[in-house]
Amino acid sequence: MSKTSSFRPIWLAVAVIILLLFVVGWYLLAGETSPTTDDAVISADSTLVAPRISGTIQDVLVEDNQQVKAGQLLAKIDDRDYVNAVQTAQASLETAQAQMQSLVAQTAKQRPTIDQARAVVAADGAGLVYARQSAERYKRLSLNGSTSLDQRDDSDANYRQKLASQQSDVAAVQAAEKQLEVLKAEQAEASAAIDSATTALQQAKLNLSYTEIKAPIDGQVGVRSLRVGAYVSAGTRVLALVPVDKAYVVANYLETQLAHVQPHQAVSIKVDALPGVTLRGRVDSIAPATGVTFSPITPDNATGNYTKVTQRLAVKILLEKNQKDLSRLRVGMSVVPTIDTESH
């Protein structure tokens, strides 16, 4: 065997090693500038729809997977009980208002009554002055025998009668004034009753409006459990609305892949369910903490034997608008996003 032929395997091995180093270096460089992951899914901010009141489903107006608009009627709850509640609340309000009107009329009537009673007291005062003067005059005359004792006693009794009548009329004035205060207090109570009845009527009308279950957002109907004749409780989920047109990607990248990832960088997205389709997107934000941070039981690395595990952080990626295949996406689909960290 010649010396040249013996060196040929060595040169071949060196060439293979150099090629491997080149490939590994290129891979690492590409991995830094274009981090990718298969731990990613399509997501959307779905809204769970639940009735505000309890009752029996009277009508269902949507089907499974149907696209609906915000404010669209989805279903109706039997409203007969709630209509009766509105009518009862309306009657209570009218009763309270009638009570207030009666008290206002009584108050208006009471003021002339007080004025009349005060006029009687004023008249009593004038009569009392004359009766007192007459009694004093007959008393002086009786001392020198110019009048009889009977006349003196009659004038004195008349004075005392006038005085008692005045005191009675003064008491009547005070009672009439107290009655006016009572009427004012009853008006305040009736006003509070009107406020309470008004609030009850508004709540009854609100409950009646809640018998119509409407879509809070635009979206596609999912997990519909609405059935005619079924009884639903307040707060129980009856369907979900998924805004598929506002879907985005949640990609869980290794922390070692995020050194150069920033918002607004371009992303190419391959969807497992759509072979040959590549969608465009932009990095929106990076989660403030790893997923394990929010778990009910977080790991405590200060105890036991510590083993370093590379963590993952969620990256939110927004899809660019006006792509023809966006309508084919569904929440939960697996995707493979690749971020171009050299883009801006």
pLDDT for 92-129, tens place per residue? Answer: 999 999 999 988 888 777 777 777 767 666 666 656 66
Q: What is the pLDDT of residue 2?
A: 47
pLDDT for 249-271, tens place per residue? Answer: 999 999 999 999 999 999 999 99
| Model confidence at 3: pLDDT above 50 | no
Domain ranges for the chain, please list them.
Answer: 35-46+244-339, 48-77+212-241, 80-209
Task: Determine whether domain 48-77+212-241 maps to CATH 2.40.50.100.
Answer: yes
Q: What is the pLDDT of residue 77?
A: 97
Q: What is the pLDDT of residue 183?
A: 78
**Residue of 249, 241, 242 lying closest to 271 (CA atoms):** 249
| Model confidence at 56: pLDDT above 60 | yes
Q: What is the pLDDT of residue 141?
A: 59
CATH of domain 80-209: 1.10.287.620
pLDDT for 170-197, tens place per residue? Answer: 777 777 777 777 878 888 999 999 999 9
- Specify which of 26-35, 87-96, 137-146, 168-177 reaches the highest per-range mean pLDDT: 87-96
State the chain's mean pLDDT as an integer: 83
Q: What is the pLDDT of residue 298?
A: 75
The three-state (H, E, C) secondary structure of the chain, written as one string: CCHHHHHHHHHHHHHHHHHHHHHHHHHHHHHHHCCECCCEEEECCCEEECCCCCEEEEEECCCCCCEECCCCEEEEECCHHHHHHHHHHHHHHHHHHHHHHHHHHHHHHHHHHHHHHHHHHHHHHHHHHHHHHHHHHHHHHHHCCCCCHHHHHHHHHHHHHHHHHHHHHHHHHHHHHHHHHHHHHHHHHHHHHHHHHHHHHHHHHHHHHCCEEECCCCEEEECCCCCCCCEECCCCCCEEEECHHHCEEEEEEEHHHCCCCCCCCEEEEEECCCCCCEEEEEEEEECCCCHHHHCCCCCCCCCCCCCCCCCEEEEEEEECCCCCCHHHCCCCCEEEEEECCCCC
Q: What is the pLDDT of residue 112?
A: 75
Q: pLDDT higher for 315 or 168? A: 315
Quick one: average pLDDT of 28-32? 50
| Model confidence at 302: pLDDT above 90 | no
CATH superfamily of 35-46+244-339: Efflux pump adaptor protein, beta barrel domain (2.40.30.170)
